[in-house]
Amino acid sequence: MMIKEINPVGSFKNWDNTKILELQNSNDSDRVGDTLLFEDDSIKVWSIILKPGDRLPFHKHTKNYTWVCLTQGTAISHYENGRIVEIQYQKGDVSYYDHDTKGDFVHNLENIGDLLLKFNTVEYK
């Protein structure tokens, strides 16, 4: 995975107005995927499938979670703090987010490449 910063934290200089309005109207959704595949007392398993040009709307992460990329591709994410990053994903990329030490955050995810992007995300309750 390669991450390129397009806009720094604390600045909304490179944001277009539609993204700012979408963020303001996001209502802190906790749907961190397209489809909830499984849920029990300890986890939620989400699927994310983004065709080229598709977006996962702004959503809020409030739990520890792990994601794995099932395909390769390119995406962009806008964060509530102004940061924008472009990410080059490789099949098999995986990451863990420790909410307990890093806290909540809101972002979106948009497929800006030519390939289908697929992820699975596991949220720990």
Q: Report the chain's C-alpha Rg in angstroms.
A: 14
Angle ∠(103,62,21) on CA atoms, nearest 5: 95
Q: In whole angstroms, give the CA distance from residue 50 to residue 119.
A: 9
Q: What is the pTM of this model?
A: 0.94
Q: What is the pLDDT of residues 3-40, one digit of tens each?
A: 999 999 999 999 999 999 999 998 778 999 999 999 99
State the average pLDDT over residues 61-81.
Answer: 97
Beta carbons of 42 and 119 less than 8 angstroms apart:
no
**H/E/C letters for each residue in 82-94?**
CCEEEEEECCCCE
Q: Is the pLDDT of residue 71 over 90?
A: yes
Tokens 């490449």 found at: 113
